[in-house]
A and B are shown apart, each in its own frame.
Chain A
């Protein structure tokens, strides 16, 4: 009877083999990548949610933070309108079937780290009419949408990326409610929707929309056929609705933003899991037209992912490296460029909202960071801008998603665990 018992203890040892990972993750343009590793079970660490009560996230000296809207129905991305009103997209999408016993078990564990509220499938408008920093009006702008996520405004049209279609509303200044049901601009890939969020940005001339479409799996475990038209950014003509792939091989481009000045499209992208605590880095990158960023065949350039069959050496060779590592598993879901009104230390660069990890024994992310830029490119380590979402005793008070810079000098943060909108302003 000795032998089977030692087999059991071996299994338990293998389980623990995932490793904790480096305490400080590699950031920047050239992160050191360890060899892939995975124990018998993936490392899963879901921080238990607790309420904020009277606490708030921690922001740098000279800044203050306050909740400007609460009790929302899963806020994801926000948009600051020309008159200062804030639109909030609320919802939860995805209809991926559970294909393996693993899917049944893993989804229950992951759900422990999310809100129990039902997604609103709506847009909520927040207004601070007297400019005192209190958003006294909170009303539904539009409802009966299908897991809305990406938001953009151009030429009097409000564009909303639902999980299955790009739609638009007519928008006039100071409007507090949509004047009618939305008009469809284009259908979006919606089969399975393993990664359902459709991120959105509009070109500076208002002619094209860019739509981020996530992959239909972690790493092709739902079959290659499920990945048609996935893991890419589409360019959509705002007039005709015609689309073409703008860049491909981007596993899950969860937020898009246009860089002021250059007009260049940037994205934050969530990379693949289950290769170890320090693989694969999620990244911030300029999105080069026509470029292929590796998924699924390789990561960070030419690092081949052995989990993909058939392999494709040609595509691996063609893969370009992204610009800037944010660290593995941080789950970057928000991106916006800063401006001078945010204060000298945070004037040039991009804010990134990090939802936080599940596939790591020591959680990472769960904060908003600022990536400093110089001469149009990332320069230096990311700086913490809003922290405290993960408490010191390992509980989760909130999870940041979308970040939006208010031109007047404020950062709007959507928190989809506590269903709150946070606003960070300068206090001096």
Chain B
């Protein structure tokens, strides 16, 4: 019988790229929201909507990788659960934000801007947790 131990191991390159990639996408949406808030120029709001869609795709695929890690683990490590929880929260908040950004013109404001701040912070937290706290079982 092999001895199983938990080891911190960063996610694979594709998983890490999708995960970390969602940060600049959410951040870009936030910056576009701020630009729209200050200028009333609708194009910024259009950019924000597409950046959020991109962030959902990127973080959604990362979430699939993360869930795969979680499901395969026989023992649920605290770090992994934290990471998956944060990433799931990011994705759900991003989805609500996408619907919010589907409203017309100024109807996006101010909730869209608030949600973009929250999604950006959550995406950063999820990325930090994913890159530093992900634990994988290894046979010792």
Q: How far is the CA of A224 from the CA of B45 in the complex (A)?
A: 14
Q: How large is the interface on A (under 10, 10 to 19, 20 to 34, 35 or more residues)?
A: 20 to 34
CB neighbours of A101 from chain B (8 A):
49-50, 53, 98, 102
A309 within 8 Å of B by Cβ?
yes
Residues facing A in B52-75 (CB within 8 A) are 53
Q: How far is the CA of A8 from the CA of B93 in the complex (A)?
A: 9
Q: How far is the CA of A219 from the CA of B105 in the complex (A)?
A: 7
B88 within 8 Å of A by Cβ?
yes
Whether the Cβ atoms of A38 and B103 lie closer than 8 Å is yes
Residues facing A in B81-105 (CB within 8 A) are 85, 88-89, 92-93, 95-96, 98-105
Closest to A102 in B: B102
CB neighbours of A7 from chain B (8 A):
89, 92-93, 96
Whether the Cβ atoms of A219 and B104 lie closer than 8 Å is yes
CB neighbours of B49 from chain A (8 A):
100-102
A420 within 8 Å of B by Cβ?
no
Q: A7-B89, A274-B107, A306-B106 are in contact. Are A221 and B42 (CB under 8 A)?
A: yes
Closest to A10 in B: B96
Partner of A217, one of B50, B98, B99, B104: B104
Binary per-residue interface labels of chain A (78-119) against chain B in the complex, 1 for a CB within 8 Å, 0 otherwise: 000000000000000000000111100000000000000000
Whether the Cβ atoms of A274 and B104 lie closer than 8 Å is yes
A157 within 8 Å of B by Cβ?
no
Q: How large is the interface on B (under 10, 10 to 19, 20 to 34, 35 or more residues)?
A: 20 to 34
CB neighbours of B101 from chain A (8 A):
100, 102
A103–chain B nearest beta-carbon distance, Å: 9
Q: How far is the CA of A218 from the CA of B46 in the complex (A)?
A: 15
Q: A100-B46, A310-B40 are in contact. Are A40 and B92 (CB under 8 A)?
A: no
A220 within 8 Å of B by Cβ?
yes
Partner of B42, one of A1, A223, A306: A223
A92–chain B nearest beta-carbon distance, Å: 23
List the 3 closest pairs (A to B, CB-CB), nearest first.
A102-B102, A221-B104, A223-B42
Q: Write the residues of chain A forming the contact surface with B, with a CB cutoff of 8 angstroms.
A: 1, 3-4, 7-8, 11, 14-15, 38, 40-41, 99-102, 217-224, 274, 306-310
Q: Write the residues of chain B forming the contact surface with A, with a CB cutoff of 8 angstroms.
A: 40-43, 45-46, 49-50, 53, 85, 88-89, 92-93, 95-96, 98-107
Show 14 A/B contacts (Cβ-Cβ < 8 Å), sorted by A. Answer: A1-B85, A4-B88, A8-B92, A40-B100, A100-B101, A101-B49, A102-B49, A217-B104, A220-B42, A221-B42, A221-B105, A224-B40, A307-B106, A309-B105
